[in-house]
Amino acid sequence: MPHRDGMNGDTETPPVQVGFIGLGDMGKPMAERLLAWPGGLVVCDLRPEVVEPFTAAGAKAAATAAEVAAQAEVISVVVVNDDQVRAVVTGPDGILSAARPGTVIAVHSTIADETAIELAAECARHGVDLVDAPISGGAGGAQQGRLAVMVGGSEAAYARLREPFRCFADLVVRAGEVGAGTRMKLARNLLHFVAFTAAGEAQRLAEAAGLDLRKLGRVVRHSDAVTGGAGSIILRDTTAPIPADDFWFPILSHVRNLGEKDLSLALALADRLHVELPLAQQAFTELGPGLGVGAGALAKERP
């Protein structure tokens, strides 16, 4: 992981020391993956019993965020909310009270994008980079090193974070400037929780039809693992309507036609069973426009 630098390529730059603040349900498995990082790890949490296994494994312990900043060049922050992030970064014993110029702070907590922008501006006055770097994949993904990290920040900050982050993530993307990481996380989670709501509708229909819900769940998880689920249709650079001569038009028109057929059959079944499916009804009318190919024949015909 060390890399070569300099004009003649013969100067080796040692890996940065990483700090980690917040060893909760998400932070703990992420930090555990960083124990193998060759630059070393400094951890900080208010609970000594959580810190002890890390020091036993070779990490350094810090009592405050300032102590982390005095040692680490890249600092990950995984706390609960915006107020805690502000306290960790700008409080009396916060990172900025001791951070050296060039330090990079990565906020993994899901906070408001405005908070990230505000804190980044304050950090910049101290020569410190702050990026918003929310994560997706849950504690299980952290334990397996399979998180996705969405970074909002400069190219230079992203370059410094990328290698240590690969200890706990197998996808690290730069979403854009500060705030963009949070916006990408919000868009991703919008899909997540709308899908959960749709799963509730599907279960109501299945239950009314006398089906075993656990078996339905097995089928859904199996097919989503094969097809990639809803993310498999997020393929284009824009949501604008697709011209008829575009490569994607026949592909996504086919998806729309299949979807409208299956949704019309599900809605007909729901009518017979007296089950309300508002999301399914909305999907039926908006699937084609959402795909960029317009409503199909079935959606145009249905009142």
Closest by CA position to 99, among listed 90, 111, 86: 90
- Cβ atoms of 93 and 21 within 8 Å: the answer is no
Phi and psi torsions of 159, nearest 5°:
-65, -35
Residues 6+ apart with CB under 8 A from 68: 19, 20, 21, 42, 43, 44, 62, 75, 95
Catalytic entry in 28, 60, 185, 261: 185
- Cβ atoms of 21 and 13 within 8 Å: the answer is no
- Cβ atoms of 59 and 35 within 8 Å: the answer is yes
Q: How far apart are CA 146 and CA 175, in angstroms?
A: 18
Q: How far apart are CA 224 and CA 124, in angstroms?
A: 43
Q: Residue 248: what residue type?
A: W
For 137, other C-beta atoms within 10 Å of its C-beta total 19
Phi and psi torsions of 27, nearest 5°:
-65, -40
**185 assigned to active site:** yes
Could you give the residue numbers annotated as active site? 185
